[in-house]
Amino acid sequence: MQRSDAVDTATFPGADVKEVGPTVVVTYDCEPDRHIAFAERIADKIWDNRENVLNKFYTPKESAEIARCYMGERPLIIADYADNPGAGAYGDATALLDALLKARVQNACFGPMVDAGTVNQLSNAKDR
C-alpha cells in the first residue's frame, strides 16, 4: 500500500526529499492475506493520525527562556528542529545558541556545531 500524498506529514518536514515517508513492513511465512491486512491497518492508522502533532515548537528565544528557568533534576534537551544534521541540514545555524547566550543560560552544553569557522569563532570568544 502506497500513500505518496502523505509523505510530507509523516517525516521530517524540513527534509528536501518529498518521496520519503513512513513504511510498514510485515514479514510472514504463512497466511499472507492476514498479514497484508495487518500491514494495511497499521498504514491506515498512520494515515488517520497524519495531522496529529506530538511536539510543541518554540522559537529560539522561547526555548532559551525555558532553559534559563528550568529547575528539573534531569537534563533538558532542546533540539534545533530546522537545522538537524541527521535529516540532511548543515548543522551550522546559530539562532538557538545566540538566544541561549543572550538569556545567559548557565550549566549548558551546545553541540554539535558542524561549521569549522563558527567553531573557531566560538572557541576564541571571551566569556560574556
In one letter, which amino acid is 46? I
More confident residue, 79 or 105: 105
pTM over cut 0.75? no
Q: What is the pLDDT of residue 12?
A: 59
pLDDT at 114 over 60: yes
Cβ atoms within 10 Å, residue 77: 7
55-71 pLDDT, tens digit each: 788 899 999 999 999 99
